[in-house]
Amino acid sequence: MKIEINLKMIFALIFIFMFNNINTYLIFLFFILIHELAHLLIGICIGGIPNKMTLSLFGASIEFYSYGKNKIIGKLLFFSIGPITNFIIGIMCNEFMKESEMKNLIVITNFAIGSFNMIPILPLDGGKILKEILILLFGFENSNKISMFVSKSILIIASLSYSILILKIHNIVILFLLIYLWYLYYIEEKKYTLYLKTKGAIKNIM
């Protein structure tokens, strides 16, 4: 049986650890689902074909077979809409909700989800957006190389920065996130290596 550990699941667990509050978790889960539903709705609107939606107690993930006629533009819209939705919700709540702990929690939660997903590291939304832009500029082959290089570079810089500032930061959550992001990068790197091997094998056959 294949077991998938979803990024949203890990991020939700981090929030529970940070706040030790079930209400915080439920609010976080709710806005994660909004994030994923935004992906789903925009995917359908651009003519994409949904493949699978995986739900769990800790979140959801959307997969599509295709992203409409204009594949690259469709993917850019698809990957962008989730974080954008969180940012819009955060801004609207900050402007129109009355001051309260609930308002602060909703605003912080949405900006946290949006900001985290926009980090240009594969396979986060930000990393996928970067890759699609690179495809437009440099083609598919070069986009893979550059996006993997950027992902690894950001992780190295973030890890070194945390190591230098660890005595001042004293935040184990950041360490946990870095470890998990390295894990995600490792999975993407394995996929890319497999792609190169498969491409090489096909080329040799030809």
- 4 falls in which pLDDT band (50, 70, 90)? very low
Query: HSE (CB half, 13 Å, CA atoms) of 16?
Result: 11
Q: Average pLDDT of the chain? A: 79
- pLDDT single digits (tens) 27-81: 887 888 888 888 888 878 877 766 666 655 445 566 666 666 667 778 888 889 9
The pTM (predicted TM-score) of the whole model is 0.77
- In single-letter form, the type of residue at position 189 comes to E
Q: CA nearest 81: which of 130, 124, 122, 40?
A: 40
* pLDDT tens-digit series, residues 96-141: 888 888 889 899 989 988 998 899 998 888 998 999 899 888 888 8
The identity of residue 95, as a single letter, is: E
What count of other Cβ atoms lies within 10 Å of the Cβ of residue 16?
Answer: 15
Please give the Cα distance from 2 to 168 (Å, whole number).
Answer: 40
- Residue 139 region by backbone torsions, left for phi larger than 0, else alpha for psi between -120 and 50, else beta: left
Query: 185, 151 in Cβ contact below 8 A?
Result: yes
In this predicted model, which residue has the larger pLDDT, 84 or 68?
84
A 10 A CB-CB count for 100 gives 9
Secondary structure class of 123 (helix, strand, coil): coil
Q: Parse the chain into domains and list their residue ranges.
A: 1-118, 138-206
3-state secondary structure of 12: helix
